[in-house]
């Protein structure tokens, strides 16, 4: 980590209760610009609730969010987006029937004035889309190619490129690799690497230890709504991470019988 940089976002002792259910019981995480912070945890560990709190969908029951050192209160996702926190959801905010460039600029359409009428500036949109896609290593047939013709990994990449283009400082990726094949996963991980190098903070949610270790700088494990600590890259082995996620002993026993394949 770069020690002289201040964290761009600090989540301090975040608690979130839904009625009598305690989804988050005091979680603290810092994220620095240019790092890929992996958030690991099994299903139901509280990962989703945590990132929804970070992206303004939920308001924390208790705890504090500091964004660039200042306390922030996100009332809805719009606030978070305006501040520069972009979320790429597991189920993408992409419309398969629409072209890549129309998707890329959806909600942020560039306009060109002809007389009193404002037109969608297709030329600009197409050029930027092609450029951004090329930077991410995707060669489109054309900007009018429909998103539906892209593979799952490519769609993730378009979504990430879009968030970056529109000025995201923190990029939250919710299980971007969970439904992808090996090669597609590699592409997405490569994209994450590129984004990180541009100085953007990436919060990478996954339950796959190998994916996390491939790109992660730091790792935070959530279990039953609590954090089990944050580890630096190189300070932790895959086996230890796996154990932390499972919350202790059960998996060790299991792993023995499965021959270390999990």
Partner 1 sequence: MQDATKPTAQTDERIKEISAFRKALIRPELGGMVGTIAVFTFFLLFAFDSGMFNSQGIMNWSIVSAQFMIIAVGACLLMIAGEFDLSVGSMIGFAGMMVAIFSVTFGWPTWIAILVTFALCIAIGALNGWIVIRTGLPSFIVTLAFLFILRGFTIFLPQVIERKTIIGGIKDVAEGDWLAAIFGGKILQGAFVWLGDAGLIATFERGTRKGQPVVDGVPMLIVWALVLIVIGHVLLTKTKFGNWIFASGGDAEAARNSGVPVNKVKILMFMFTAFCATVFAMCQVMEFGSAGADRGLLKEFEAIIAVVIGGALLTGGYGSVLGAALGALIFGVVQQGLFFAGVESSLFRVFLGVILLGAVILNTYIRRIITGER
Q: Give me the least distance between CB of 248 and partner 1, in Å please.
A: 31
96, 167, 181, 248: residue in contact with partner 1 (rule CB under 8 A) = 96
Distance in angstroms (rounded) separating the CA atoms of residues 161 and 182: 21
Query: Minimal distance in Å, beta carbon 82 to partner 1?
Result: 10
3-state helix/strand/coil string of 185-233: HHHHHHHHHHHHHCCCEEEEEECCHHHHHHHCCEEEEEECCEEEEEEEC
Smallest distance, partner 1 to C-beta of residue 228, A? 28
Site membership for partner 1, residue 36 (CB under 8 A): no
Query: Binding to partner 1 by residue 107, rule CB under 8 A?
Result: yes
In whole angstroms, how close is the CB of 64 to partner 1 at the nearest point? 26
Contact 28, 208 (CB under 8 A): no
Min dist. Cβ of residue 102 to partner 1 (A): 5
In terms of Cα–Cα distance, which of 54, 41, 36, 48 is closest to 218? 36
Among 6, 62, 106, 262, contact with partner 1 (rule: CB under 8 A): 106
17 sits near partner 1 (criterion: CB under 8 A): no
CA end-to-end span of the chain, whole Å?
29
Is-contact 223 244, C-beta < 8 A?
A: yes
Would you list the DSSP string of 69-110?
Answer: TEE---SSHHHHHHHTEEEE-SS-S--TTSBHHHHHTTTS--
21 versus 97: smaller Cβ distance to partner 1: 97
204 binds partner 1 (CB under 8 A): no
Q: Which of 15, 28, 61, 151 binds partner 1 (CB under 8 A)?
A: 151
Is residue 74 near partner 1 by the rule CB under 8 A?
A: no
Specify the residue, 18 or 119, whose C-beta has the smaller distance to partner 1: 119
Q: Which of residues 179-198 bind partner 1 (CB under 8 A)?
A: 183, 186-187, 189-190, 193-194
- Say whether residue 22 binds partner 1 (CB under 8 A): no
Check: CB of residue 186 under 8 Å from CB of residue 176: no
199 sits near partner 1 (criterion: CB under 8 A) = no
Task: Write the CA distances from 246 to 29, 40, 251, 257, integer angstroms.
Answer: 20, 10, 6, 16
Distance CA 53, CA 112 (A): 37
* Main-chain dihedrals φ then ψ at residue 201, nearest 5 degrees: -80, 130
* Smallest distance, partner 1 to C-beta of residue 12, A: 27
Tell me the closest approach of the beta carbon of residue 140 to partner 1, in angstroms: 9
Which x/- pattern over 111-150 shows residues binding partner 1 (rule: CB under 8 A)?
Answer: x------xxx-x----------xxx-xxx-xx---x-xxx
**Residue among 188, 190, 168 at smallest CA distance from 81:** 168
Q: Which residues contact partner 1 (rule: CB under 8 A)?
A: 77-78, 81, 89, 92-98, 102, 105-109, 111, 118-120, 122, 133-135, 137-139, 141-142, 146, 148-151, 183, 186-187, 189-190, 193-194, 214
């Amino acid at each position: 980590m770069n020690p002289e940089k201040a964290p761009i976002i600090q989540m301090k002792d975040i608690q979130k209760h839904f009625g009598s259910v305690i989804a988050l019981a005091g979680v603290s995480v810092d994220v620095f610009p240019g790092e890929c912070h992996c958030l690991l945890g099994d299903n139901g560990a509280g990962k989703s609730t945590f990132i929804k709190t970070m992206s303004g969908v939920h308001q924390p029951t208790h705890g504090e969010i500091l964004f660039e050192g200042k306390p922030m209160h996100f009332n809805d996702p719009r606030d978070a987006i305006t501040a520069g926190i972009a979320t790429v959801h597991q189920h993408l905010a992409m419309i398969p029937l629409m072209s890549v460039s129309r998707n890329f600029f959806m909600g942020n359409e560039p306009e060109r004035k002809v007389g009193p009428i404002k037109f969608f500036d297709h030329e600009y949109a197409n050029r930027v889309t092609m450029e951004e896609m090329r930077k991410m290593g995707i060669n489109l047939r054309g900007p009018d190619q429909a998103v539906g013709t892209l593979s799952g990994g490519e769609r993730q990449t378009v979504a990430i490129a879009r968030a970056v283009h529109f000025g995201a400082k923190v990029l939250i990726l919710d299980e971007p690799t969970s439904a992808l094949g090996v090669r597609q996963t590699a592409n997405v991980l490569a994209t994450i690497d590129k984004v990180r190098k541009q100085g953007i903070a990436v919060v990478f949610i996954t339950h796959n230890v190998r994916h996390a270790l491939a790109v992660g700088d730091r790792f935070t494990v959530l279990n039953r709504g609590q954090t089990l600590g944050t580890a630096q890259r190189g300070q932790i082995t895959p086996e230890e991470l796996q154990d932390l996620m499972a919350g202790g002993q059960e998996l060790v026993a299991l792993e023995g019988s499965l021959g270390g394949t999990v």
